[in-house]
Amino acid sequence: MTAKKKTKKPVPPQFAKSVAARMESGAQLREAIELAVESQNEPVSALEIAAIAGELVGRKLDATYVGLLLRDMIDAGKIVARPETLEERKIRCEGRPLTGRIGNLYFRAGVKFPTRKTAVLVPGVRLGLPSTKVTSYGKRGAKFRKVSTKSAPSDLATLIEQMIDERMRKTEKKLERIRAILAE
């Protein structure tokens, strides 16, 4: 058996205009990502690159998609990447316990790859903080909830006080609803 060679089909004329616009949009995105990497003096992560490039193109970008484009740019020799070192990871986690996978850092090609010394390079983007947590798995997939990034109180009495206050607020809301129903 011989394998058939795949030939690329030409784009139908009715779609040529939209395909050309899409390719141009992709080229602008690649340029924005390259500019985001070149504008930094320290290595950056895909999440930070997505935030910077997103501001440049005027829309929110997914870090996973940006990571795929970064791989293409690495293959083309426009940027270089390496895994973060343990020291860089400690800086990124800002004293919190080290969890998760080691991240990749990206930098412009042709220059010595520096070490990262700053925890937050892009305002609003903090690395190493989970934003959601899987609470349960059901028939329709995973259910997520927001994870609080606030530090937990170290004093047990403070924790109990917070729990009581929260419970009291919920009870007050229920009581207000009951009073509204009875008033009708």
Please give the model's pTM, rounded to 2 decimal places. Answer: 0.58
Residues 142-161 have pLDDT tens digits of 565 555 555 554 566 777 88
Contacts of 132 (CB under 8 A, 6+ apart): 144, 145, 146, 147
Tell me how far apart the terminal alpha carbons of the chain are, to the nearest angstrom. 81
Joined together, the tokens standing for residue 75 give 């293959």
Q: Supply the DSSP string of 41-90, one letter for each residue.
A: SS-B-HHHHHHHHHHHHTS---HHHHHHHHHHHHHHTSEEEEEPPHHHHH
14-148 CATH: 1.10.10.10
Report the amino acid identity of residue 133.
K
Contacts of 83 (CB under 8 A, 6+ apart): 102, 103, 104, 105
Half-sphere exposure of 171 (CA within 13 A, CB side): 6
What confidence tier does 176 reach under pLDDT thresholds 50, 70, 90?
very high
Contacts of 33 (CB under 8 A, 6+ apart): 49, 53, 66, 69, 70, 73
Write the Ramachandran bin of 93: left for phi over 0, alpha for psi from -120 to 50, otherwise beta. Answer: alpha
pLDDT for res 136: 54
Q: Which residue has the higher pLDDT, 151 or 9?
A: 9
Q: What are phi and psi of 120, to 5 degrees?
A: -120, 110
Cα torsion at 154, 158, 159, 161 (round to 10°)?
180
What confidence tier does 36 reach under pLDDT thresholds 50, 70, 90?
confident
Residues 49-107 have pLDDT tens digits of 998 888 888 888 888 888 888 998 999 999 999 998 888 888 877 767 666 678 889 99
Residue 32, Cβ density class (10 Å: 0-12 exposed, 13-18 middle, ≥19 buried): buried
